[in-house]
Amino acid sequence: MDDSSNLDKMKVSGGPTQDEVMAVSLFKLALNEGDVIADVGCGTGKVSIEASRTCGRVYAIDVRDEAIAAATRNIAENNAGKVHLLKGNAKDVLPGLGRLDGAFVGGSQDLDDVLRILASQVTGRIVVNAVLLRTLEQAVTTMQHLGIFEEVIQVSVSRSYPLADSFLFRPIDPVYIIVGRCK
C-alpha cells in the first residue's frame, strides 16, 4: 500500500496501522480466499480494506464516531464492498457474527472479554496489535489462559528521510503482534 494514500492521512486516535506492521499482521492471520474475519477496533478501515482483497467478508467493528466516519469514507473510496462496517462495542457485536475464520484486534476497550468471545468463534488465528506493554501482557495472559497463545513478534520499523545530500532513518514506535491459534 502506498504511504501517501488517504488511508494514512486520515487521523484516528491509535492509527492508522503502519504498512509494515499490517503486512506482518495479515501474514500471521494466514488468510485464505473467501475467509470471513473480524477487524476489532478498525479505526480508518485500512486493515479491513487490505484483508478484503483476499477475504469473502470482513466485519469492521469500532465504537468511536471518528473511526466510523473515516472507515466509511475509506471503504467507499476503495470500493471495498466486502467490508461490512459495524458501530458498537466489540463484546456486544461479535456474538451476533457467528463463526469466523480469523480476527484482527487493533484496539478494544474490553480485551479480555473480546478474546474470550473470539476464542469461541474463530477457527483460525487471532492477531492482536499492541503498543502498550500492559496491552501486550493482557493479551498474552488471556490467550495463555484460553490455551490459544502461539507467539509474540516485536516489529520495529524506521523510515528514511532526506537530510542534506543524504538521508537518515527515523524510528516508528515498536508494535507487538500477539498471535493466537484457535482449534
Give the up-direction half-sphere exposure of residue 174: CA atoms within 13 A in the CB hemisphere: 9
Q: Quick one: pLDDT at residue 62?
A: 96
Q: Which residues pair with 181 in a beta bridge?
A: 125
Is residue 1 scored above 60 in pLDDT?
no
Give pLDDT tens digits for 118-175: 999 999 999 999 999 999 999 999 999 999 999 999 999 999 999 999 999 999 889 9
**Cβ neighbours of 2 (radius 10 Å):** 8
Sketch the domain layout of the chain as residue ranges: 17-181
36 backbone dihedrals φ, ψ, rounded to 5°: -115, 120
Q: Quick one: pLDDT at residue 3?
A: 40
Q: Quick one: pLDDT at residue 4?
A: 36
What does pLDDT average to over the chain? 92
Q: Are strands 122-130 and 166-181 parallel, antiparallel or unpaired?
A: antiparallel
Q: Quick one: pLDDT at residue 162?
A: 94
CATH code of domain 17-181: 3.40.50.150
| Euclidean distance between CA atoms 182 and 170, whole angstroms | 37
Select from 92, 99, 109 the least CA-distant residue to 41: 109
Q: Quick one: pLDDT at residue 17?
A: 86
Q: Can you tell me whether residue 53 is helix, strand or coil? A: coil
Q: What is the mean pLDDT of residues 14-34?
A: 92
* Residue that wins the pLDDT comparison between 57 and 5: 57
What predicted TM-score, i.e. pTM, was given to this entire model? 0.90
User: How many residues appear in the chain?
Assistant: 183
122 backbone dihedrals φ, ψ, rounded to 5°: -90, 135
Q: Which residues pair with 167 in a beta bridge?
A: 162
